[in-house]
Amino acid sequence: MGTRGTGRRIDSLSSLAAPAVVVLVVTLVVAGLLMSIAAGSGLVRPTGISTVTGTGTGAHAGIGLDAVATGVSAVLLDVASGAILHEQGASLRLPPASLTKLMTVLIAVEATEAGQASLDDVVTVSPHAASMGGSQVWLEAGERHSLGDLLESMMVASANDSAVAVAEHIAGSEQQFVHIMNTKARELGMGDTHFVNATGLPADSGQPEAYTTARDMATLALEVLRHPKVLEWSRTRSKVFRKQPLFIMETTNPLLRAYPGCDGLKTGHTDAAGYHLIATAVRGSTRLVCVVMHAPSDKARAAQCAGLLDQGFATLQSARLAR
């Protein structure tokens, strides 16, 4: 779920265990698959997620299965076309952990765009929000912050207390907000996803746990990327959240510092979930999204995601040269 205090400093990618380089031997032959993103024009919304070739856990677009460790769920896709370049265990249901906050931020940002809220709204922190454990910015009951600052702290520091404060501000209660989250998931076609809170923390004792899949998280990531403000927040590496007493937020995403072109998106971790990472990166006119779930460690999720991104960019470049 992240770390307490001022956050941890992230080492360079050279300290991560890199996966073996896989020889790319299959060339994309689907005509018109790669829709270019015009420079500076933002993201092109895909019509949906589609598989380039094959189904199940087979290799797609020449990316071998050994790119990702056994037991890890993964999806790699091209944002412009929505085409899946690799998937492994993509339909396995897992606890979403803090990847949940992507849905929380999506609903809040959509509310501001619809005029139902404003990023400048002043949010008063409730005792319930202040009581959250795990990753947090140490909000106290009665403390007041702008909605925008709370959303940014969710994306940078994975703040659970901020997530609940946001949910209560938008919907009146966290419970009502969760209903909105699940309605939105159904609208997006996330048929293997169910949320139980706004944070991704484990459910209360005796209550059913949340679940999702790597494929559903890829769908959610594509929707989130339609909102530039979220990407702006998620690329932030370090920022002062509070001056008195001083609290500096540190990103939980190691690839922001270690992987060229990476500008988001979200980490997650609980004991039951393992280590999750959704990363997005740009090279030239190509943007990819990589989802890695249930990795054995924070270093493993970063290394495996970086390896898949490398192979995805190489595969798409080879396909362009072959045309």
Q: Is 101 a catalytic residue?
A: yes
Least confident interval from 67-71, 133-137, 314-318: 67-71
pLDDT the model gives residue 68: 58
**Mean pLDDT rounded to a whole number for the chain:** 83
Q: Is residue 5 part of a domain?
A: no
Banded pLDDT at 43 (limits 50, 70, 90) = very low
How large is the average pLDDT for residues 213-221?
Answer: 98
Percent share of the chain, pLDDT over 90: 74
Exactly one of 73, 135, 153, 158 is catalytic; name it: 158
Name the 3-class secondary structure at 68.
coil
| pLDDT exceeds 90 at position 130 | yes
Put simply, whether the predicted model's pTM sits higher than 0.85 gets the answer: no
- List pLDDT tens digits, range 255-278: 999 999 999 999 999 999 999 999
Angle CA 104–108–109, to nearest 5: 115
Q: What is the pLDDT of residue 318?
A: 86
Beta strands in the chain (DSSP E): 50-51, 73-78, 83-88, 122-124, 144-146, 238-242, 247-250, 262-270, 274-283, 286-295
Query: Which sign does the torsion angle of CA 316, 317, 319, 320 carry?
Result: positive
pLDDT for 14 equals: 32
Angle between helices 214-224 and 100-113 (to 10 degrees): 30
In a domain, 210, yes or no: yes
pLDDT tens digits, 239-257: 999 998 899 999 999 999 9
How many helices (H) does the chain have, and how many strands (E)?
9, 10
Check pLDDT > 90 for residue 200.
yes
- On whether the CB atoms of residues 187 and 70 are closer than 8 A, the answer is no
Domain that holds residue 164: 23-322
> Is 308 domain-assigned?
yes
Number of domains making up the chain = 1
Which of 73, 81, 98, 153 is flagged as catalytic? 98
User: Which CATH number belongs to the domain containing residue 288 in this structure?
Assistant: 3.40.710.10
pLDDT band at 237 (very low <50, low <70, confident <90, very high): very high
Told to judge if 73 belongs to the known catalytic residues of this protein, a careful annotator would answer: no
pLDDT of res. 320: 82
Active-site residue (options: 101, 126, 135, 184): 101
| Known catalytic residue at 98 | yes
Asked if the structure places residue 170 within a domain, the reply is: yes
Does 8 map to a domain? no
Judged against a pLDDT cut of 60, whether residue 62 lies above it is answered with: no
